Amino acid sequence: GAVVSQHPSRVICKSGTSVKIECRSLDFQATTMFWYRQFPKQSLMLMATSNEGSKATYEQGVEKDKFLINHASLTLSTLTVTSAHPEDSSFYICSARDDRGLGGYTFGSGTRLTVV
Amino acid sequence: AQSVTQLDSQVPVFEEAPVELRCNYSSSVSVYLFWYVQYPNQGLQLLLKYLSGSTLVKGINGFEAEFNKSQTSFHLRKPSVHISDTAEYFCAVSESSGSRLTFGEGTQLTVNP
């Protein structure tokens, strides 16, 4: 089945530094990937839609300069949290849509970001 | 715009009992419907999906769901739950293949011995 690898699974960084999270589709191509943020005991909040070869589409209220998204190939999208602050601490999850049109969205295993 | 309502935030049940997790959606167009399961500190795993065809959809781990267009519902059921089914369950909808998923608030299923 379709597999999405998300790395790292857990990261701790200092305030003011940047952190990059990778989302890779292992056995399928994904023109479109999605980035979500999840707070404890809450649902997933869509942050942005990442499209290969073009600029990401950000949801209202999400700072595009803070959360940089790059989707340079059909199998890889990255999310960079720039100048991280403690309030950016959260669980980030990516999802990839299979280009074969099987109607599925495969999720990565998530990244727990802690900013100290 | 579409929306999803999961009617129960928490559902406690005993092992081997049947369970139903309720999901209602709202949309002005035809939809695709999904149920995902999330274990602590992990991503989401697809349980089942409805795209078209038979309204009764069977998924992994013995789960099934029925799409009811007139009631705009997509309730998830399992006839006999196990301790290992304890997890958060999310219902989601998209208005077309490849468009954004909209999630419900989630239902925490806790299976007690």
- Read off the pLDDT of residues A11-27 as tens digits, 9 standing for 90 and up: 999 999 999 999 999 98
Residues in B closer than 8 angstroms to A112, CB to CB, are 41
- What's the CA gap between A95 and A1, in Å, rounded? 14
Q: How does pLDDT run across B33-63, given as a tens digit for each residue?
A: 999 999 988 889 999 999 888 899 999 999 9
Residue A99: predicted pLDDT: 81
**Given an 8 Å threshold on Cβ–Cβ distance, is B44 in contact with A49?**
no
The residue written with tokens 């468009």 in the block is B99
Q: How does pLDDT run across A62-99, given as a tens digit for each residue?
A: 999 999 999 989 999 999 999 999 999 999 999 998 88
Of B43, B51, B104, the CB nearest to A109: B43
Query: pLDDT higher for A2 or B84?
Result: B84
**Given an 8 Å threshold on Cβ–Cβ distance, is A44 in contact with B90?**
yes
H or E segment at B15? none
H or E segment at B39? none
Average pLDDT over residues A2-13: 95
Average pLDDT over residues B73-98: 92
**Given an 8 Å threshold on Cβ–Cβ distance, is B90 in contact with A112?**
no
Residues in B closer than 8 angstroms to A104, CB to CB, are 46, 49
- Is residue A103 scored above 80 in pLDDT? no
Helix, coil or strand: residue B60: helix
Chain A: closest CA distance from residue B10 (Å): 11
- What's the CA gap between B85 and A8, in Å, rounded? 26
- Is residue A102 scored above 80 in pLDDT? no
Residue A10: predicted pLDDT: 96
Which residues on neighbouring strands pair with residue B38, listed in sequence order? Answer: B44, B88
Residue A72: predicted pLDDT: 84
Neighbours of B104 (CB within 10 A): 26
- Is residue A104 scored above 80 in pLDDT? no
- Chain B interface, best mutation among A44, A47, A98, by max B CB count within 10 A: A44
Residue of A nearest to B98 (CA): A97
- Residue B100 identity (one-letter amino acid): R
Contact A1, A103 (CB under 8 A): no
**Given an 8 Å threshold on Cβ–Cβ distance, is A43 in contact with B105?**
yes
- Residue B83 identity (one-letter amino acid): I
User: Which residues 6+ apart lie within 8 Å of A106 measured at CB?
Assistant: A1, A2, A3, A4, A25, A28, A95, A96, A98, B46
